[in-house]
Amino acid sequence: MNKKYIFVIGVALLLVAVAFSGCLGNDDDDDDEEENDEELAEFEVTNFNVDEDGLEVTITADIENVGDGEGDISLYADGEEISSWSLGPGDTEPVDEKHTFDEDGTYDIELGDQSETVTVEEEDDDNGYVGSGEETFSGTWEGKDALGQEEYDGTWEFTIDWEDEDVSGWFEGDAAGDIDGSVSEGEITASGDAALGYVTWEGTFSPDGSSISGYWEAEQEGITAYSGTWSGEEGELDNGNGDNDNDNDEENGLPDDDQVDGEEPLDRYPDSVMLDHAKYTGPDAEVTDIEYGTEDVLDDVVSWYKEELGDPIQEEVEPDETTLYYQFEEGQETAEITISENEYTTIDIIYGIQE
């Protein structure tokens, strides 16, 4: 074969090899460029927070792509992608996502370089103790006046009608009165009048319904004058301890002697007994509240006060109840006298001195 011809063929094969090698080198360069593009997306996650509510979690955060290229970032709950975002360079995204797990457990929540481990538990559907039929609860109450100077205590007894969701009962001791209200989702709300004022009772049953405890407060003329706590258990009061319920009070009628003592700003109705006494100081007045009882009829009591104090500035008359309003010392002292006729006649005097 001609040596010149062989030389030409050799040169040609060399050129082909060089060209092929160049093609392979270009492919590698392209791959490197693609890898470099993906690495240019860099995410910064701030304000990452996870709140639990039963089996549900709420994830909040702020995402920013601080890199030079576009990329994706995903939110994971227990290794499962639950949401993702695609952000370009400089883009930001607020995160507010909810996820509900199927059962109680401990799970990892991950977003970028942030993560948190949470423990979730299914909420108890029990909204509180609910009994059946009628149940009676009883116990003790205690409290103080608004200034914390005087202490008060006594006993109470409530009957719960679970079918009608009604509460009725009474309390006695340093103050006494009847209570009516309602029960719902294991909680009691009840109220009633007493010498301490308009008394509101709120309480919650234990999960098994064997006991109850709560808070009470007495309001007079829009002021919380007294407050305290109360607690007890299922069952009636043990009268052997000297505690009497309202039924026994009604059977015994009017007590023979004063049940309490205290300062009396007005002359007492003849042959009456003091049933309750309370005194408190509000922002504008000092108030004394006294309840008396007498066997005399309502009209005789009303007539006596008019003879003693003169004609009232105002008089309200209702069946079995009359209220007389007086002002003394140029209006600086006032008296509200309510006479009510039930088994016996009660006289409730609210005497105020303006400061």
Does any domain span residue 269? yes
Boundary (domain end) residue, out of 249, 274, 293: 249
pLDDT for the residue 5: 52
pLDDT at residue 198 in the model = 84
Is position 266 within any domain?
Answer: yes
**CATH code: domain of residue 170:** 2.40.160.90
Cα dist from 192 to 179, 271, 292, whole Å:
5, 28, 18
Which residues of the chain are under the pLDDT cut of 70? 1-39, 123-127, 239-252, 280-285, 330-331, 355
Q: What total number of domains does the chain contain?
A: 4
Question: For position 123, what pLDDT does the model report?
Answer: 67
Name the residue range of residue 220's domain: 134-249
Reading the block at residue 282, the tokens are 């509000």
Residue 111 belongs to a domain with what CATH number? 2.60.40.10
> Do residue 245 and residue 285 come from a single domain?
no
- Pair 77, 24 in one domain: no
Same domain, 294 and 313: yes
Asked if residue 281 and residue 188 are part of one domain, the reply reads: no
Residues 65 and 29 in one domain: no
Strands 197-205 and 211-220: antiparallel
Task: Note the pLDDT tens digit of each residue in 174-189.
Answer: 878 888 989 887 788 8
The answer to whether the CB of 71 falls within 8 A of the CB of 86 is yes
**CA-closest candidate to residue 194, choices 160, 161, 156:** 156
At residue 339, the pLDDT reads 94
Backbone angles phi, psi at 307, to 5 degrees: -70, -40
Task: Please report which helix (H) or strand (E) contains residue 291, including its range.
Answer: strand 285-294
Domain final residue, candidates 217, 249, 281: 249
Task: Give yes or no: residues 286 and 348 share one domain.
Answer: yes
Amino acid found at 84? S
Q: Is 128 part of a structural domain of the chain?
A: no
Give the number of C-alpha atoms closer than 13 A to the C-alpha of residue 264, restricted to the C-beta side: 16
